[in-house]
Structures are given as C-alpha cells and as structure tokens.
Amino acid sequence: MSLALILSSGLPPHGGNLSQEALRLGLRPSQLLDASASLVPFRPPRVLQRALKQAIKGSGLRDYPDRSQAALREAIADWHGLKPECVLPGNGASELFTWAARDASRAGVSGLPEPGFADYRRALTCWNSSLKSLPLSLRWPALWPQAWPFQQDSDGICQALWITNPHNPTGQLWSRASLEPLLQHHSLVICDEAFLPLVPAGEAQSMIPLVEKHPNLVVIRSLTKLLAIAGLRLGYAVASPDRLRRWQQWRDPWPVNGLALAAGQAVMADQAGMVRWLKSVHDWVAHEGSWFHQQLDDLPGFSALPSAANYQLLRGEVSLLDLRERLARRGVLLRDCRSFAGLGVNWLRIGLQDRRGNRRILKALKKELS
C-alpha cells in the first residue's frame, strides 16, 4: 500500500494512537493496553523524572530552549565516544528522517527494504524523491545477527539506501559486518537504529563507530522507545559535522523543547545509570520476549515470527483485522500492519509488555480464538 493510499484511507501510519482509539471505542485511554506501540514497560528513569521537575520549577518553561543544544549534544557524544559536532538531537527520529530524506533526494533513487516503516516514504515524499522498493523475504531463522539479505547494488540503481536495524516490523537484526560494505556502493546510507539499544548485545552491530570514517553514513536513534518518553519527542542523528550543520540551517529555530533537552541531557550524562537501565531493558527483552513468543506460537490460527526486538510480528492464516477489532473492544490494541508496504490484512504486530501486560494480551487472544 502506498503512502497516499494509507493517508486517504484514514489508516494511521504509526502505532500509539491511544487517544483516537479510545474515542472511537468509547473507552477511556486508561482502560486500554496499547501494544500497538513498542516502548519499554517501565516508568522513565528517576534521573529523567527529577530533571523534568527541576526544569518546570526553574526556567525550563519560560526560557527559550538552547538552539545549539550544546549540553545534550555533549552528553550523547560522550556516551558514544564521539565529538559533539557529530551529534544532532531532534524532535523525535521522525524530524531527522525528514532532513535525511532531503539529502537522499539529492543523491538520487532511495532503496527501501520492505515491508518497512512508512515514515521513510513520508519523509521522501516531502521532497518528491524517487524510490525503489526492495522486497524482503518473509521467512527467516531465529538466529542473530543475520547477514544483510540483498546483493550489492553493482549497477548503481539505488544511490541512497535506508536500513532499519533491527528491522521494523520483522525484528530481524543485521550484522554490522554485512552492512559496512554497503558504504562503498551507495552515495548515502541512512541507518535507523531506533530499537537497537533495546536489543540484548545489539550495540555490537551499531553503525555509529563507522560514522567518523564514512561521511556518506547517517545513523538515527530514538530515545522515545528506550526511555518510554513518546510524549517528549526526542531522538538524535549521528553523522558528519558538515551534514549536520546543513540540517541545522534547514530546520525550525527550536525543534527540541526545553523539557526534552533537560531530560535527555540528565539521563545521557548519567552513564552509570544508563548502564543499569540498559541491563534491565535487555533482561526484559531476552526473558519476556522468549516466553511471549512461545506462548503466541502455541495459539491456533497464526504463527509468530522470530524477533530480536521488543515487538512480535504475527502472520495469520486468514485476515486478522476482525480479531484485532475484537481485541480492541476488550481493551487491547495491536498494530494494524497494512501501513507497512508489503504486508496486508493477515498481519499484526504486538509490542512486548511486562508479564502482566503480556498475560492480558494472551487472555484476550485465547477468549477470541476460542
């Protein structure tokens, strides 16, 4: 399904439409378990919560945000062992996709592995970019990391390449060793690592260590999923300083609000706290993800595909849309996958919850399937 058809049909290109779904269902948002979005099930780190309270009590609401975002850039750079000029915070990853797409439109044709995240097409459409769909196989082993599944573009058909690692919505984790050669074959490589920090041992596959030697590489990350702060909208790009200075000139004067800057700087500067947080997240994904996958795969009528990430893709023998709607009536929201090009009515995606939330999902599924 094209982006134009998605938008004209009223089909949301993202999950996490909690307030809209609650209104449609005649329920309060608090009555819904939103498994259409893939966030950690914990409250944000205490250091982040304290930073928000201090910013509100101080001048964080009254003062204009720092347009240079200096403190947050330095904290993120220190975490990754980079220079601050290689980092650019954004109003979530989506804002940064828009500027990456502008560069991609200048480079030429963008290659999009699909099914894939609809926001890349949205960003490319802003600049009337040319794109080519690269169809992914919808069968893969439960083995991580995997090799990049496409042959090298020796004919130069795609000058820009968009990679999601781990892939969304499949949950496949690509190896850095198989991705690095792509930098020799494309004038621009954009790697979306929004979910990579949540993957146990996933950091070993990050492309960030390659940025300083490869000016044609852009890596984009989100703090939304990792810290459960979707309402704050905070992400960042890692790229060459020249590229990021150009993006700064294009964007709005204050793309990241003062509260998001304060919260992000506090949590990223607390490196010991971040290490502890990541361990909790990785333990959750490893143990809860394995258990939940097995429980889902034992249910009749669909199969659960292997995933390294904190979301699970389901393939049904028939359309799953009616099942999704019945679950919504029971207060459980799952992701409608029709917005992922290459998927249709037989697919759903479930964001991993804590054990209580996962049991609630399974109970609702069992009742409807019986």
Q: What's the pLDDT tens digit per position in 132-186? A: 999 999 999 999 999 999 987 656 799 999 999 999 999 999 999 999 999 999 9
pLDDT digits (tens, 9 = 90+) for 309-359: 999 999 999 999 999 999 999 999 999 999 898 899 999 999 999 999 999
The verdict on 10 and 52 lying in the same domain is: no
Residue 149 belongs to domain spanning: 46-270
Q: Does 33 score more than 80 pLDDT?
A: yes
Say if CB 183 and CB 207 are below 8 A apart.
no
What is the share, in percent, of the chain residues with pLDDT greater than 70? 95
Average pLDDT of 5-32?
A: 72
The verdict on 356 and 244 lying in the same domain is: no
Looking up residue 200, the CATH number of its domain turns out to be 3.40.640.10
The verdict on 259 and 285 lying in the same domain is: no
62 — alpha (psi -120 to 50), left (phi > 0) or beta? Answer: alpha
What is the share, in percent, of the chain residues with pLDDT greater than 90? 88
Three-state DSSP state, 189: strand
The verdict on 9 and 54 lying in the same domain is: no
Torsion 126-184-92-5 (CA) sign: positive
- 7 band by pLDDT with thresholds 50, 70 and 90: very low
Say if CB 268 and CB 277 are below 8 A apart.
no
Q: What is the pTM of this model?
A: 0.94
Q: What's the rounded Cα separation, in Å, for the pair 186 and 217?
A: 9
- 19 band by pLDDT with thresholds 50, 70 and 90: confident
pLDDT, residue 154, reads 56
Q: Does 191 score more than 80 pLDDT?
A: yes
Looking up residue 352, the CATH number of its domain turns out to be 3.90.1150.10
Question: Which of 235, 270, 305 finishes a domain?
Answer: 270
Count CA atoms within 13 Å of residue 83 on its CB side: 10
Q: State how beta strands 311-316 and 347-351 pair.
A: antiparallel
